[in-house]
Chains A and B, each alone.
Chain A
Amino acid sequence: MSTSTSPVIEAFGLGKLYEGRVAIKNLTLEVHRGEVFGFLGPNGGGKTTSVKMLLGLVTPTRGTARVLGAPVGNVQARAKLGFLPEHFRYHEWLTGREMLQFHGRLYQMPSRSLNARIDELLTRVDLHDAADRKIREYSKGMMQRVGLAQALLNVPELVFLDEPTSGLDPLGRLLVRNVIDELRQEGTTVFLNSHLLSEVEICCDRVAFVKGGEIVREVAWRDQAPILEVEIRMKPISSGLLKSLEVFGREIISDNGVVRLRVPDEEVLPLMTRWLVNQGVMIYQIRSSRKSLEAMFLEIMGQDHRPG
């Protein structure tokens, strides 16, 4: 089984064909213990199929993977996993508490500790007062939250959250973010599957972008040096000036009296402004903004991608 330093998820060239159609082309990734890993991609990009393969719900057509040091689908490893599926559906004729008891029994948790854990989680997801109502009476947000409680019942080492905030109101989203943050602090590895970029931006340590059934880029989001996009309206603009600006930043573009470039941090801005003024350049406007995950997403997915 796994050691504390080994990756909790290792996938090598996983692929999945559905009746000749490629769902996953080539999935190779590593997720390390204790990190919140974001899995980003457009709808239909293969995110959910990837999660299902890692959980042993879907058999890969090719490739291998290990989860918590064991081959995917291993029963002992699954005892340490939590999973919130994208379309959270449960036996709706059960009450929330009964549903959690059923899932806890599947984890073979002793009754006493299970009931204590259920009470703790119901409080954590703010459902204690609705615990004895039937799930069919729950709102979508309540179902999502009871699903989240279900995913955390066994104090998992690794949790797969597939679109955990879809259908939630802002308070519900905040609750989920707080839970993810608590999981990080507790050392739990979180595999967050989402197309909500703001959520991933806030929660994740590392992000993988999936396109066409394979990972096209991985970014250590939390450790990444902040990139500022700077826009300067000025004149005159000469090719020599643009060349000289490379000292301050990169990806320099000039368009209709406006120069755009990327600089590593805010400290560059006063230095660059002073230098430009010393060169006799008239500056009319200067704006800077941090490069968002959304911009990165659009850049990686390209313009050819159609809405899902």
Chain B
Amino acid sequence: MRGILTMVHLTLQEARRRRLLLSALLFGLAFLSLFATGFHFIHRDLMAHNVLPAQRKLILSSVMMAGFYAVNFLMVMTAVLVPVDTLSGEISSGVIQTVAAKPLHRFQIILGKWIGFSLILALYLGLMAGGLVLVGKVLGGVTLLRIGTGVSLMGLEGTLLLTLSIAGGTRLTTIANGVTVLGLYGLAFIGGWMEQIGTLLGNATTRYVGIVASLFVPSESLWQLAAYHMQPPLMRDLNLTPFSPASVPSGYMILWAVGYTLAVLCWALWQFHKRNL
């Protein structure tokens, strides 16, 4: 256990020392400031035109959902890119040799890094989502529904992609790993949209192709599910925005995503265990 904690500490120390946290914080603040500015002016216009409260709430909720969509994208990039070099880089530079020669099991190295990066991602997501909620509440008096559920699902999506990125690093070079994991995310993304469009058009084949893609990489389904839970029922029932899923992923997709993440993590542990360093 001490070996894992030492690796967690090193991962957090690296994020702080390499100004990863500082960059994330500064650009997060820039993002929130821009969002707050836009939100403020939209809210002011709605008030000036005496838009009905229900309508106003619907419009501001859509703006909030756009904010969450952007946060989801930033979190996905953070989850993929931040750990992309952690193993492949240390393997190619030889840094890993002195670490792996110490009295700890190799799985402790992977688990320590995985926990460390997951904590960083959780902190990032928490700050960004918390900032959005604060902006909505303070500037427009609007709160989305089931924020906790939605953010948890986004967190699961990020953890899944982060795990893929760490797992890829056990076998691939840094660049190949980044391209592969972003490519997998791209498959899930387009698969999710095919599922939605197929449902809207009543094209079952397209929908099933999208569902299969979601099973292959369930990240986009988790966002769709998060968006479904967070937006007002009227908004999602009427499919008023691109964030209103026409086809709602099953609750079993959460179980699938958890199992998928654990399976990828186990694969990473096994690959690193048998790898020549």
Contacts and interface: CB of A to CB of B under 8 A. Distances in A.
Nearest to B5: A105
**B2, B17, B103 interface centre (most CB from chain A within 10 Å):** B103
Contact of B94 (A79, A87, A94, A106): A87
B190 interface: no
B49 interface: no
A301 B101 CA distance: 31
Interface string A51-84: 0100111110000000000000001101101010
A248 interface: no
A57 B97 contact: yes
B277 A91 contact: no
A301 to B, nearest CB: 27
A147 B94 CA distance: 13
A16 to B, nearest CB: 9
A56 B101 contact: yes
A85 to B, nearest CB: 5
- Residue with the greatest number of chain B CB neighbours at <10 A, chosen from A58, A76, A102, A103: A102
Given A87-B94, A89-B93, A90-B95, A57 B277 contact: yes
Contact of B276 (A58, A79, A87, A108): A58
Contact of B104 (A98, A106, A150): A106
Interface string B85-123: 000000001110111111111000000000000000000
A8 B102 CA distance: 17
A56 B49 CA distance: 73
A151 B107 CA distance: 22
A183 B9 CA distance: 32
Contacts, number: 68
A89 B103 contact: no
Interface in B61-107: 93-95, 97-105
Given A57-B277, A106-B3, A108-B2, A93 B102 contact: no
Nearest to A83: B101
Point out which of B14, B98, B103 has the most chain A C-beta atoms below 10 A from its C-beta: B98
A52 B96 CA distance: 12
B101 A57 contact: yes
A94 B10 CA distance: 10
B103 A75 contact: yes
Given A57-B276, A106-B6, A85 B103 contact: no
A15 to B, nearest CB: 14
Contacts of A57: 97, 100-101, 276-277
A267 to B, nearest CB: 48
Interface in A120-160: 147, 150
A107 interface: yes
Given A78-B103, A81-B101, A106-B104, A93 B6 contact: no
B102 A85 contact: no
A107 B103 contact: yes
Contacts of B17: 93-94
A105 B14 contact: no
Nearest to A108: B2
Contacts of A79: 103
Contact of B95 (A78, A91, A107): A91
B93 A106 contact: no
A75 B104 contact: yes
A102 to B, nearest CB: 6
Contact of A108 (B95, B97, B103): B103
A55 B105 CA distance: 13
B98 A93 contact: no
Contacts of B104: 75, 106
A81 B99 CA distance: 12
B100 to A, nearest CB: 6
A11 to B, nearest CB: 17
Contacts of A76: 103
Nearest to B109: A106
A260 B148 CA distance: 90
Nearest to B105: A75
A147 to B, nearest CB: 8
B2 A105 contact: yes
B171 to A, nearest CB: 15
A147 B98 CA distance: 9
A58 B101 CA distance: 11
Given A57-B277, A59-B276, A93-B17, A150 B103 contact: no
15 contacts: A52-B97, A57-B276, A57-B277, A59-B274, A76-B103, A83-B97, A89-B93, A89-B94, A93-B18, A102-B10, A103-B98, A103-B102, A105-B9, A106-B102, A150-B98
Given A57-B97, A147-B98, 15 more contacts: A52-B97, A57-B100, A58-B277, A59-B274, A59-B276, A78-B101, A83-B101, A85-B97, A85-B98, A89-B93, A89-B95, A91-B14, A93-B14, A94-B13, A106-B102
